[in-house]
Amino acid sequence: MSESTDAREWHRIIRASVRECLETWVLQAQAGSVTVEALETILARTTVPILRQAEGLQPELVVALLPSLVRTMLAAFVEMLAEQRAPRHRPIG
């Protein structure tokens, strides 16, 4: 894979993981408070694709990628919150 293809794949995986994490948390929260144990389970499950992507990489490379991974995760989280809070326009008709 080329470097740009790798970067796009990382970005896709991170965004999908963050989206799944947020959506799962929202579903859990609809039933009441989300316990620490439930949150840990959500986080553990939604980080699996990211960890799989990092398998086989040299530890030094993983450490070098961390700032970018965290930045992408935070940006995805904020984008998804903004999407949820944006007024939904219904088609007229």
Query: Are 42 and 24 spatial neighbours (Cβ–Cβ below 8 Å)?
Result: yes
Helices (H), 31-58: 36-54
Query: Are 14 and 69 spatial neighbours (Cβ–Cβ below 8 Å)?
Result: yes
pLDDT bin (cut points 50, 70, 90) of residue 91 is low
Give the chain's mean pLDDT. 89
Burial group, residue 29, by CB count within 10 angstroms (0-12, 13-18, 19+):
exposed
Q: What pLDDT digit, counting tens, does each position of 6-41 carry?
A: 889 999 999 999 999 999 999 999 999 999 999 999
Which residue do the tokens 């794949």 mark? 9
> Residue 93 pLDDT more than 60?
no
Instruction: Enumerate the domain spans of the chain.
Output: 3-82
d(CA 30, CA 34): 9
